[in-house]
Amino acid sequence: MMPQLDTNPLPVGVVCTDTIEQLNPFVPSGAVTDQRRTERTGNNSKRRRITRNKATGTLQVLLTLTPLFIADIAALTFSILAATLSLVLLGLIGLHPGLLLNSICVMTFYVACAAIYGLYPGTGMSPVLELRQCVLASMAAFAFAIVANLVLATLSVTELAIFLMASALASLIVPLARLTTRRLCSTTSWWGENAIIIGSGPQGRAIYRYYSRAPQRGLRPLGVVDFAKTASSQDSLELTGIPYLGSVQRLERLRRKTQARWSIVAPGGCQTIDMNEVLSHAGNFSNVLILPSQMQLPSLWSGSRECAGAMGIHLKDHLHNHPARAIKRFVDICLSGFALTILSPFILAFVLLLKLRDPGPAFYGQTRVGKDGKLFKAWKFRTMVINADQVLEDYLENDPDMRQEWIEYQKLQNDPRVISGIGSFLRKSSLDELPQLWNVMKGDMSLVGPRPCMTSQTSLYGSVLPLYQRVRPGITGLWQVSGRNKTTYDQRVRFDSYYVTNWSPWLDIYILIHTIKTIVLREGAY
């Protein structure tokens, strides 16, 4: 009997450590760290059974894009109505007779732009890229409507006000509507497109596990095929609960039988691989996705380029985009200053509660490593007892299991140093890091970035430390919204490497949105 595969939903769909741990991190200086594989372990919560979409290939596409199309139209309609009613109730404008025609024009322009940007059906699209494409399509649709009114008719002040406000609302509501729709539809058996993984090595298995646990991406992995069908490869896959579909020679037969539209070639860890043979058998798939390298190259903003008749991978390093980095710093200053002003009464209240609960300073500063290796003092509310280091050492000395947990995660789930009551609340809600807004104002940190590490932890980064030091550390980051304390420190290093090599303002926006969810649900915090 085949064992159950852990298919618990992932906390975030940006990146999977099981996948990137099969790759060597890409460092601009050329340094590469040794690979270290770390398996995620599931919990005992209810597991989702993986099913294939039994519809025909074309119908799979229609069933996948239709709910997203309806969600987009509904979100645009709501945005236009909300903007109109808000302005009417405020007495700024009156009802416009051409509202219906303008709305139809906006939706038509949006659908055209969304199709060009690949949002239909959007199968396998990164949520960060989908966020960017949705915002750009929304803004372009309303911009086209404004230009159309200027050229073909008369643009009134009422129409301009509605378009501008509705555009801002749609940039927020459309991505949220699509996210909700993806999560709802991913629980059904008719949504998504079937995919077959080519390669039974560690990389292929990681890809299968990832898409099985992130069905909202729209890909339904059916199983794995390999080259020579050996008993050892079949047994090893069945031990991990991954269906083994046979050798690569059966691909065409499997494609017709399962109506799979996608094949994903994952050669990592395979002893022998003949790409000519793979492509000859996978050539009839509508979509073939090839993972071409064992290097963890930037994946969000890279693309293929023709180079003297050969395919090349064009890498974009947005950290060299000085206007984008200037905007990031400007936003850091504005938002941190605004947050410090608004939250100052709460900060004062937390200071008083900490003073009443435990004598000593309310703030705690610890030396951390920042951009370009510069040391700075990161501030937090003091949520631990005064003699925290001695308490920790005594605790670890008497409990070998907890010492092992500390070595692996650099965190303790039941930390004896934490002040009971207010200290525990501040840590679980992540509010203990509010004073770091001052570090952001000063320029030591950013709102989004890698988690600031201690000087004693720099050795854990190995030769990817130069990546960490390319950017300012952040109050929140990819690690915080991807499991946080449930991940090992090695996985945290992988998250930091991914963030730096794939940085863009859109990735920051995505992380900030998910940070709100993480704080509210207290995901991975203790």
Range of the domain at 181: 58-187
**Residue where a domain stops, chosen among 156, 187, 218:** 187
Q: Which of 77-81, 219-223, 477-481 has the lowest average pLDDT?
A: 477-481
Q: What is the CATH number of the domain that holds 268?
A: 3.40.50
Rounded to an integer, the average pLDDT of 61-70 is 94
Confidence band (pLDDT; 50, 70, 90) for 47?
very low
The pLDDT tens digits of the residues spanning 180-201 come to: 999 999 999 899 999 999 888 8
> Does some domain include residue 514?
yes
Query: On the CB side of 95, how many CA atoms lie within 13 Å of its CA?
Result: 4
Same domain for 267 and 336? no
Report the C-alpha gap between 296 and 27 in whole angstroms: 9
pLDDT at 472 > cutoff 90: yes
User: In terms of domains, do 143 and 256 share one?
Assistant: no
Which residues, at least 6 apart from 359, have a Cβ–Cβ distance to it below 8 Å? 386
- How many other C-beta atoms are found inside a 10 Å radius of the C-beta of residue 517? 12
Last residue of a domain, one of 153, 170, 187: 187
Note whether residue 40 is domain-resident. Answer: no
Asked whether residue 437 falls in the same domain as residue 496, the answer is yes
* pLDDT for 1: 45
DSSP secondary structure letters along 102-162? HHHHHHHHHHHHHHHTT-SS-TT--HHHHHHHHHHHHHHHHHHHHHHHHHHS---HHHHHH
Measured CA to CA in angstroms, residue 319 lies from 421, 450, 506 at distances of 42, 14, 13
Total-model pTM: 0.78
Q: Are 250 and 278 in contact (CB under 8 A)?
A: no
Enter the tokens of residue 127: 């949520």
Are 179 and 206 found together in one domain?
no
Q: Are residues 139 and 226 in the same domain?
A: no
pLDDT digits (tens, 9 = 90+) for 109-118: 999 999 999 9
Residue 521: exposure state from Cβ atoms within 10 A (0-12, 13-18, ≥19): exposed
When pLDDT is averaged across residues 393-412 and rounded to a whole number, the result is 76
Residues 317-344: tens digit of each pLDDT = 888 889 999 999 999 999 999 999 999 9
3-class secondary-structure state, position 22: coil
Quick one: average pLDDT of 455-464?
A: 87
Give domain status of residue 397, yes or no: no
Q: Which residues contact 447 (CB under 8 A, 6 or more apart)?
A: 331, 332, 335, 336, 440, 474, 475, 476, 508, 512
Q: Mean pLDDT in the chain? A: 82
Counting the structural domains of the chain, the total is 3
Task: Give the span between the Cα atoms of 238 and 4, in whole angstroms.
Answer: 10
Let me know if residue 408 belongs to a domain: no
Residue 497 forms part of a structural domain: yes
Nearest partner of 408 among 496, 525, 489, judged by Cα: 489
Q: How confident is the model at residue 316 (pLDDT cuts 50, 70, 90)?
A: confident
Three-class secondary structure of residue 176 per DSSP = helix
The neighbouring-strand residues paired with 378 are: 366
pLDDT over 70 at 17, yes or no? no
Boundary-marking domain end, from 269, 297, 317: 317
Q: What is the 3-state secondary structure (H, E, C) of 217-246?
A: HCEEEEEEEECCCCHHHHHHHHHCCCCEEE
Tell whether 452 and 371 lie within a shared domain.
yes
Looking at the fold, whether 181 and 274 belong to one and the same domain comes out as no
* 412 falls within a domain: no
Question: 505: closest CA among 388, 331, 343, 372?
Answer: 331
